[in-house]
Homo-oligomer: A and B are copies of this chain.
Amino acid sequence: MSQANFTEIVQEQGLEPEAKPHLRVTVLGGGSFGTAMANLAARNGCDTMMWIRDAASATEIQNSRVNKRYLPDFTLEQSLKVVSDLELAIRDRDIILIAIPSHAFRHVVQQIAPMITAQVVVSLTKGIEKDTFYFMSDIIRQELPEVPYGVLSGPNLAKEIMQGMPAGTVIASHSEQLRVAVQHALHSALFRVFASDDVHGVELGGALKNIYAVAMGMGAAYNVGENSKSMLITRALAEMSRFAVKLGANPLTFLGLSGVGDLFATCNSPLSRNYQVGYALGQGKSLQQAVEELGQTAEGINTIVQVRARAEELDVYMPITCALYEVIFEHAPPLNVALSLMKNGNRSDVEFVLPHQQLS
């Protein structure tokens, strides 16, 4: 059966929510997810701009209405403006959504700092700053100390959003006003924006999930069954939430879209680079061989290095991450990842329900 045309159904049934207040929304960055969000906001009736550093690319997208590099199969909303003038993109706007890769995130935030007046700033970027281990919300707080901020995260493949398949995401912020504004800007009948006030919890789901996609790929190389995969997902959630709680997050956040939801989507995507690197490693290849075959590196590998170091500093028990590190960098056999799930004694299923120390 072919894909259902949810967009048509929604229109027929009159399910689109009412027109939004005329918010002025800017997306910084022209990658696939930033483009998808800008397109949603424009369709919702917001005055929407997308900023791309490279002037030629901006002009090309502005004229052709297609983001050829990242979303070649979709025509963008007519009202969406694509610009390369940062000042124009920031001044007199209501919401700034930043969809810039983590290595360039701080630099862009520093650039916009002098232009910020009453705008709110939201990170769409999943990841951890190299060396510092800061999350994107930390960077915003550091560089724009008085600006209301938030993070948006969830299982959100841009292509599926552009196709109009039902999807949801989470906006996390301590500011209710910000949450409501972002919901107004992006919420529609086929894209649901849920709210949370656990910024670090929501951010951590998106930042850590790639680790476990590598492990899932490795498991696939061993042809493990559903029992093993389910245990991997569950133990992944256990170590993610353990780590997050150490940073002040709420473990229950991992029950939501940015936790379980994003982890499920990531681990179920055999075509992702993380999964493929894991698969190659599971077949006994070295990291170098795996990366050469793929033609590019996988983000999950960097995340493993970062999170392992940070977990050691914070004294958080993360057996899957550590076993992956040993396989990738210390020539341990890949099977150790499976065994790391098994050999840690009779512990609690969810330690926030039954603490380990209560177990004999």
Tell me the A residues contacting B by CB distance below 8 Å. 1-4, 6, 9-10, 13, 15, 154-157, 160-161, 163, 165-168, 170, 176, 180, 183, 187, 189-190, 192-198, 201-202, 221-231, 233-235, 237-238, 241, 250-258, 260-262, 264-265, 268-269, 282-283, 335, 338-339, 341-343, 346-350, 352-354, 358-360
Closest Cβ of chain B to A52, distance in Å, is 25
Interchain CB contact (< 8 A) of A350 among B183, B256, B282 = B256
Query: Is the Cβ of A341 less than 8 Å from the Cβ of B166?
Result: yes
A10: which B residues are within 8 A, CB to CB? 339
Contact residue among B1, B161, B338 (Cβ-Cβ distance under 8 Å from A223): B1
Residues of B within 8 A of A192 (CB): 231, 341-342, 346
A255:B251 contact, CB within 8 angstroms: yes
A190-B342, A341-B166 given; A222·B3 CB < 8 A = yes
Name the CB-closest residue of B to A240: B255
Closest 7 CB pairs of A and B: A155-B230, A167-B227, A194-B349, A160-B225, A256-B349, A234-B261, A256-B350
The answer on a CB contact under 8 Å between B197 and A230 is no
Per the bound structure, the CA–CA distance linking A250 and B350 in Å amounts to 10
Chain B residue at smallest Cβ distance from A339 = B15
Most buried by B among A156, A168, A187: A168
Give chain B nearest CB distance to A2 CB in angstroms: 7
Q: Contact: B227 with A160, CB < 8 Å?
A: yes
Residues of B within 8 A of A195 (CB): 346-349, 354, 359
Given contacts A230-B262, A253-B350, 4 further A-B contacts (CB under 8 A): A1-B221, A165-B227, A190-B342, A194-B347
Across the interface, do A230 and B359 meet the contact criterion of CB distance under 8 Å? no
> Taking the nearest CB of chain B, how far is it from the CB of A164, in angstroms?
10
Residue of A224, A238, A282 with most chain B CB atoms under a 10 A cut-off: A224
Please give, as numbers and ranges, the residues of chain B lying within 8 Å of A167 by CB-CB distance. 225, 227-228, 231
A212 to B95, CA, bound (A): 37
Say whether, besides A256-B234, A342-B189, A359-B195, A156 and B349 are in contact (CB < 8 Å): no
Nearest-neighbor residue (CB-CB) of A189 within chain B = B342
A260 neighbours in B (Cβ, 8 Å): 230, 233-234, 237, 255, 260
- 11 A-B pairs within 8 Å (CB atoms) are namely A1-B221, A1-B282, A168-B235, A197-B353, A198-B354, A229-B268, A230-B264, A234-B260, A234-B261, A237-B260, A256-B350
Q: Is the CB of B350 within 8 A of A226?
A: no
In the complex, chain B residues whose CB is within 8 Å of the CB of A235: 168
Residues of B within 8 A of A241 (CB): 255
Residue with the highest number of chain B CB atoms closer than 10 Å, among A180, A250, A339 = A339
Nearest CB of B to A229, in Å: 7
Closest residue on chain B to residue A191 by CB atoms: B342
In whole angstroms, what is the CA distance A9 to B1 when docked?
43
With both beta carbons as reference points, the residue of chain B lying nearest to A262 in the complex is identified as B230
Q: Which residue of B lies closest to A158 (CB)?
A: B227
CB-based nearest B residue for A258:
B349
A288 CB → nearest B CB, Å: 20
Contact yes or no, B269 A354, CB < 8 A: no
Contact yes or no, B257 A234, CB < 8 A: yes
A230:B193 contact, CB within 8 angstroms: no
Query: Which residues of chain B are near A229, meaning CB under 8 Å?
Result: 264-265, 268
Q: How far is the CA of A17 from the CA of B156 in the complex (A)?
A: 43
